[in-house]
């Protein structure tokens, strides 16, 4: 990559002592931020109960696994994001039209037709799916081995787990929420340390690129910033 | 008993683009005006300031800037045999809420219609005859011509602050512009926005194939600009948070950047927020309106606002709904073809190709809503409908508008939707894809219409409006033609992987994926009262002191984004009120 006017070459940036001081400052801030959040096993959920939390932890770990390049959903603290979303206006469907009558058997092209809010959907679907896992795989979802978990999630995705029609949006909702928590600004509790943005190369809330329209086929060099001012 | 406010000369329902235009133009006549807006007040600062809007989850995914279905929505069915169900969460289209309306969260694509689109029925008859019009298609000519509207298109472009490159200046074709556009009396107010890598590649490919690329007409400031009202815009910094967001930069054309601060300086203009209009009140003979009744959210009570002139400037769906619940015209019945209100509901038929280049960097987060190069070689006035077997056309655009990763994550087909394969896919492909989009026409049909739902009601007890809409064979054929043409151009660019997504035979309307907020028709213009709801001046046939703004006036939709046409129609309408109506209130036709 050629040097770009107005932008530090990353390697050169790290070499200079003044910049190293600045970088140490950034690292210290990021670390301080990390210190303020409890480890996931000490997190006290706002909405989910213990069994629901165990399920969300286990499911997220398979939907975006930790192995391979890039953070997994666990490193990104996606379960925290989901818990907070379900406790908030989204979980309550505050801004959706939820009046009856409801027809949860309607074709999927009609969109959300279950009478349940997203929070209620998790509350009812998790025990139903765990029960299906026990019947077919001999244990609740969190207690299955990763291969069996993937098989169970595949069955859930393909609508083969005998869930009631009211619960039919569950897999899609869970998967969408997991990806949202992976890529949303960390202010919402997931994408911890902006790891998912660093992984794909999205600069987050920088939101100022005027000189970049004309820089054709040149990779943007700067890492992300977040709404609350973190840098990575 | 409703509370009653002091009488005004004019009451405006909705303070978006058209409400703001009506307000500022009529304020210059010295009239006492009040605008009623059901949503919150919104200004660039504080509501849209950095970094609050740079939050994909809140605004882009959860849609908190939009109309909340809890407050207002529609029911949807694909045909008369289905039971309509409520649109419980927004998806396919995104009406706005709050001051500025959809003008705050649009992409900024500002097109004029083609002259041929304004007289489509005549264009077809003159070239191919009535026999090519399929059974059930409901076409008409607009009762106003492109030539009549041209000064008003120009006026809207100057107020809104549009960046672009003219292709036809007073009949002279200009290099680098759209050679197939209607004539324009002056160039755009600002030069075009710069060209990103993806649009540069598309431009080169299009030129090599003998096509005619030109920069997209953008409601995005390419430079600093002062409009005729003295409002200032600052050059866009390509922040990549345009559609679904308020602009933090004073760069996107909106009522906020173009009109509202100038409007608020008029002492004879005022506006009330959290004031949701429930119905238009009629005089005993039904021939005029006496004002509107609205729900005051703060006081939790109904308020009657008397006025001499009522201007309906809500979103298209909400304008039509308000007319229906107020009994302003007879609701259309497709079985008998009788009635006019709710007729010719139109939408848009789109498709696109995604091109993956493993070793190239597109930096998709560097963008704006109107980014890109376009072609109009396969547009409405270029296509031989008789030979092609469909009535329609499309413009294409290639230009990345954002790289927000929750929603803008194109992956090669076959990539798993979750698991290790998905994670590897997002790491491998983010930033290495571009697209070519086809934005096409959707004709009007007897079958696609709006009426009132028999089951579902809103929080005020009013019936929800019911949308009956499905894709029709003519438009799906158009889309498949565009697919073949797009794939030719895409293949010539030699991507590592290419895939396309165009609805084809048998496609059904799906309310879930976002398509466009280009809902049109329902209170269409017409040359006579038995064909439409408003006359050529957007004046209600039934009540001469009620004028209706917006895309509900469209006889049928055009192939373009609707804002340029509805902005021009708004200026045309207000000019008629100022020059013809105020001195002698009466039916103008």
Interface mutation vs chain B, best among A63, A65, A209, most B CBs within 10 Å: A209
Do the chains contact at A207 and B194, CB–CB below 8 Å? no
Model confidence at B175, pLDDT cuts 50, 70, 90, reads very high
Is some CB atom of chain A closer than 8 A to the CB atom of B238?
Answer: yes
The interface residues of chain B toward chain A in range 457-516, judged by CB-CB distance below 8 A, are: 457, 508-512
Q: Report the alpha-carbon distance of residue B574 to residue B263 in Å, rounded.
A: 15
What percentage of chain B exceeds 70 in pLDDT? 100
Closest to B309 in 3D by CA, of B29, B576, B577 = B577
Distance, in Å, from the CA atom of A25 to the CA atom of A19, rounded to the nearest integer, reads 10
Residues 6 or more apart in contact with residue B433 via CB below 8 angstroms: B354, B355, B356, B357, B362, B364, B410
Residue B94 binned pLDDT confidence (cut-offs 50, 70, 90): very high
Residue whose token pair is 């070499």 = A15
Which of A9 and B162 is assigned the larger pLDDT? B162
pLDDT, average across residues B103-118: 98
A150: nearest CA partner in chain B: B419
| Beta strand extents in B195-288 (DSSP E only) | 214-215, 225-226, 232-233, 269-272, 275-282
Residues forming a β-bridge with B415: none
Res. A6: pLDDT tops 70: no
Is the confidence metric ipTM above 0.90 for this complex? yes
Q: Which of B225, B171, B170, B168 minimizes the C-alpha distance to B193? A: B225
Interchain contact, B423 vs A109, CB within 8 Å? no
Contacts of residue B255, Cβ cutoff 8 Å, sequence gap at least 6: B15, B16, B17, B19, B20, B99, B100, B101, B103, B104
Tokens linked to B5 = 């406010």
Question: Considering only CA atoms, which of A138, A177, A139, A136 is closest in space to residue A156?
Answer: A136
Query: In chain A, which among 58-117 make CB contacts under 8 A with chain B?
Result: 62-65, 67-70, 72, 89-90, 93-99, 101, 103, 106, 108-113
> What is the model's pLDDT at position A155?
98
Q: How confident is the model at residue A35 (pLDDT cuts 50, 70, 90)?
A: low
Q: Which residue has the tokens 């999630």?
A: A153
Residues of A in contact with B63 (CB under 8 A): 95
Question: What is the model's pLDDT at position A12?
Answer: 39
Q: Which band of pLDDT confidence, cut at 50, 70 and 90, is reported for residue A5?
A: very low
**Alpha helices (H) along chain A:** 10-15, 17-35, 50-63, 78-87, 118-137, 146-157, 170-183, 195-200
Q: Decide: A63 and A175 in contact? Cβ < 8 Å.
A: yes
CA B160 to chain centre: 15
Are the C-beta atoms of B152 and B565 separated by less than 8 Å?
no
Tally Cβ neighbours within 10 Å of residue A211.
15
Q: Which two tokens stand for residue A87?
A: 């406790």
Residues B264, B99: Cα–Cα separation, whole Å: 12
Mean pLDDT for the stretch of residues B344-353 = 98
Model confidence band, residue A14 (pLDDT cutoffs 50, 70, 90): very low
Enumerate the H helices of A89-205 as residue ranges.
118-137, 146-157, 170-183, 195-200
pLDDT exceeds 80 at position B394: yes
The whole-number pLDDT of residue B222 equals 98
Q: Give catalytic residue positions of B.
A: 518
Closest partner residue to A63 (CB to CB) among B68, B89, B418 is: B418
Minimum-distance CB partner of B240 among A103, A157, A209: A209
Distance from CA of B358 to the nearest CA of A (A): 12
Tens digits of residue pLDDT in B397-433: 999 999 999 999 999 999 999 999 999 999 999 999 9
pLDDT at A1 exceeding the cut of 70? no
- Is cis: bond before A101, omega within 30 of 0? yes
- What is d(CA A99, CA B408) in angstroms, rounded to the nearest whole number? 32
Q: How far B55 CA lies from chain A's nearest CA (Å)?
A: 7
Residue with tokens 């540069």: B200
pLDDT at position A34: 52
Res B29: pLDDT: 98
Write the residue in A206, A213, A218 that is nearest to B194 by C-beta. Answer: A213
- pLDDT over threshold 70, residue B453: yes
DSSP B535: -
Q: For residues B392 and B474, is the Cβ–Cβ distance under 8 A?
A: yes
> Is B416's Cβ below 8 Å from some Cβ in A?
no
Are the Cβ atoms of A112 and B88 closer than 8 angstroms? yes
Identify whether the C-beta of residue B479 lies closer than 8 Å to the C-beta of residue B382.
no
Virtual torsion, Cα A124, A125, A131, A135, nearest 10 deg? 150
A interface test, pick of B86, B417, B422 with most A CB neighbours within 10 Å: B86
Dump pLDDT digits (tens) for B8-25. 999 999 999 999 999 999
Q: Which residue of B has its CA nearest to A99?
A: B456
DSSP 8-state assignment for residue A135: H
> H-helix or E-strand containing B19?
helix B17-27
Neighbours of A102 (CB within 10 A): 18
Q: Which of A63, A200, A210 sits opposite B419 (nearest CB)?
A: A63
Cα dihedral B86→B88→B89→B95 (10° resolution): 50
Q: What is the CATH number of domain B3-581?
A: 3.50.50.60
How many C-beta atoms surround the C-beta of residue A221 within 10 A? 15
**Chain A within 8 Å of B193 (Cβ-Cβ)?**
yes
Q: How far apart are CA B536 and CA B336, in angstroms?
A: 25
In chain B, residues with a C-beta closer than 8 Å to the C-beta of A99 are 86, 456-457
B412-417 contacts at long range (C-beta below 8 A, 24 or more positions apart): B412/B356, B412/B497, B412/B499, B413/B499, B417/A157, B417/A175
* pLDDT reported for residue A36: 75
Structure tokens at B344: 């010719």
- Reduced DSSP (H G I as helix, E B as strand, rest coil) percent helix, strand, coil of chain B, to 5: 25, 25, 55
Q: What is the mean pLDDT of residues A77-94?
A: 98
Record: contact B69-A68, CB cut-off 8 A: no
In the block, residue with structure tokens 């077809």: B124
Backbone dihedral angles phi then psi of residue B487, each to the nearest 5 degrees: -65, -30
Could you report how far apart the first and last alpha carbons of chain A are, in Å?
20
Six token digits for residue B502: 């165009």
Mutate one of A189, A202, A228 to test the B interface: name it (highest B CB count within 10 A): A202
By the 8 A CB rule, do B301 and B539 touch?
Answer: no
Residues of A within 8 A of B360 (CB-CB) are 217
Interface of B with A in 11-70 (CB under 8 A): 50-52, 54-57, 61-64, 68-70
First to last CA, chain B: 37
| Length reported for chain B | 589
* Cis peptide preceding B373, ω within 30 of 0: no
Shortest Cα–Cα distance, B199 to chain A (Å): 10
Q: Give me the helices (H) in B451-558, please.
A: 473-492
Ramachandran category for residue A84: left, alpha or beta (phi over 0 → left; psi -120 to 50 → alpha): alpha
**A33 pLDDT exceeds 90?**
no
Q: What would the pLDDT profile of B510-529 be if each residue is shown by its tens digit?
A: 999 999 999 999 999 999 99
Residue B286 has pLDDT above 90, yes or no: yes
Strands (E), B33-109: 33-36, 74-77, 85-86
Helices (H), B57-196: 115-118, 120-127, 146-160
| pLDDT tops 90 at residue A43 | yes
- CB-based contact A109 B509, cutoff 8 Å: yes
Contact B70 A210 (CB under 8 A): no
């Amino acid at each position: 990559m050629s040097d770009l006017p107005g932008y530090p070459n990353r390697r050169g940036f790290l070499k200079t002592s003044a910049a190293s001081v600045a970088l140490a400052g950034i690292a210290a801030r990021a670390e301080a931020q990390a210190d303020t959040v409890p480890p996931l096993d000490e997190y006290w959920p706002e909405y989910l109960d213990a069994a629901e939390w165990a399920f969300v932890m286990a499911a997220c770990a398979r939907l975006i696994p930790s192995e391979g390049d890039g953070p997994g959903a666990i490193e990104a603290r996606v379960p925290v994001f989901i818990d907070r979303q379900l406790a908030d206006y989204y979980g309550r469907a505050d801004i959706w039209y939820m009046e009856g009558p409801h027809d949860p058997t309607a074709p999927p092209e009609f969109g959300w037709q279950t009478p349940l809010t997203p929070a209620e959907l998790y509350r009812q679907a998790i025990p139903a799916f765990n029960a299906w896992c026990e019947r077919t795989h001999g244990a609740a979802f969190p207690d299955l081995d990763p291969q069996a978990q993937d098989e169970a999630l595949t069955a859930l995705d393909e609508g083969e787990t005998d869930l009631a029609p009211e619960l039919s949006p569950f897999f899609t909702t869970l998967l969408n929420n997991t990806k949202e928590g992976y890529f949303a600004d960390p202010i919402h509790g997931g994408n911890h340390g902006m790891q998912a943005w660093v992984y794909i190369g999205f600069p987050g809330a920088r939101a100022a690129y005027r000189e970049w329209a004309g820089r054709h086929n040149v990779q943007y060099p700067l890492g992300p910033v977040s709404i609350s001012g973190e840098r990575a | 008993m409703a509370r009653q406010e002091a009488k005004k000369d004019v009451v405006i329902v909705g303070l978006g683009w058209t409400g703001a235009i009506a307000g500022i133009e009529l304020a210059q006549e010295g009239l006492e005006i009040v605008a009623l807006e059901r949503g919150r007040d919104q200004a660039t600062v504080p509501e849209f300031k950095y970094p609050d809007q740079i939050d994909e989850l809140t605004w882009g995914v959860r849609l908190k800037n939009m109309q909340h279905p809890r407050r207002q929505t529609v029911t949807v069915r694909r045909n008369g045999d289905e039971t309509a169900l409520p649109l419980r969460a927004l998806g396919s289209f995104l009406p706005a809420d709050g001051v500025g309306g959809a003008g705050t969260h649009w992409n900024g694509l500002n097109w004029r219609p083609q002259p041929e689109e304004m007289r489509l029925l005549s264009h077809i008859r003159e070239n191919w005859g009535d026999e090519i019009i399929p059974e059930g298609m409901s076409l008409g000519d607009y009762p106003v011509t492109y030539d009549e509207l041209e000064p008003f298109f120009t006026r809207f472009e100057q107020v809104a602050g549009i960046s672009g490159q003219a292709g036809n200046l007073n009949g002279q074709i200009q290099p680098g512009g759209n050679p197939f556009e209607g004539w324009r009396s002056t160039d755009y107010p600002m030069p075009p926005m710069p060209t990103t890598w993806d649009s540069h590649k598309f431009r080169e490919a299009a030129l090599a194939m003998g096509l005619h690329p030109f920069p997209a007409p953008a409601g995005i400031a390419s430079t600093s600009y002062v409009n005729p009202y003295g409002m200032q815009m600052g050059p866009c910094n390509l922040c990549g948070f345009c559609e679904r967001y308020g602009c933090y930069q004073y760069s996107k054309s909106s009522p906020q950047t173009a009109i509202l601060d100038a409007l608020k300086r008029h002492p004879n203009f005022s506006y009330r927020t959290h004031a949701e209009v429930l119905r238009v009140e009629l005089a005993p003979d039904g021939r005029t309106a006496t004002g509107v009744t609205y729900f005051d959210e703060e006081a939790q009570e109904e308020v009657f606002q008397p006025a001499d002139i009522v201007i309906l400037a809500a979103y298209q769906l909400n304008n039509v709904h308000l007319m229906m619940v107020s009994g302003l015209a007879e609701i259309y019945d497709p079985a008998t073809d009788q009635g006019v209100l709710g007729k010719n509901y139109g939408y848009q038929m789109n498709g696109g190709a995604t091109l993956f280049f493993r070793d190239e960097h597109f930096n998709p987060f560097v963008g704006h809503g109107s980014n890109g190069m376009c072609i109009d070689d396969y547009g409405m006035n270029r296509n031989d409908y008789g030979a092609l077997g469909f009535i329609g056309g499309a413009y294409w655009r290639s230009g990345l508008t954002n790289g927000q990763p929750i929603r803008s994550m194109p992956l090669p087909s076959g990539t798993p939707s979750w698991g290790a394969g998905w994670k590897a896919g997002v790491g491998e492909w983010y930033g290495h894809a571009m697209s070519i989009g086809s934005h096409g026409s959707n004709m009007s049909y007897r079958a696609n219409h709006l009426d009132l739902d028999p089951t579902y009601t809103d929080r005020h007890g009013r019936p929800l409006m019911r949308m009956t809409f499905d894709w029709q064979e003519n438009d799906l054929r158009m889309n498949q033609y565009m697919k073949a043409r797009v794939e030719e151009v895409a293949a010539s660019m030699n991507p590592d992987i290419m895939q396309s997504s165009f609805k084809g035979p048998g496609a059904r309307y799906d309310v879930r994926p976002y398509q466009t907020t280009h809902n049109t028709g329902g209170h269409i213009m017409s040359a006579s009262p038995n064909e439409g709801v408003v006359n050529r001046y957007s004046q209600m046939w039934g009540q001469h002191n009620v004028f209706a703004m917006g895309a509900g006036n469209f006889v049928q939709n055009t192939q373009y984004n609707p804002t340029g046409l509805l902005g021009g129609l708004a200026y045309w309408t207000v000019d008629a009120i100022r020059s013809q109506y105020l001195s002698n209130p009466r039916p103008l036709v």
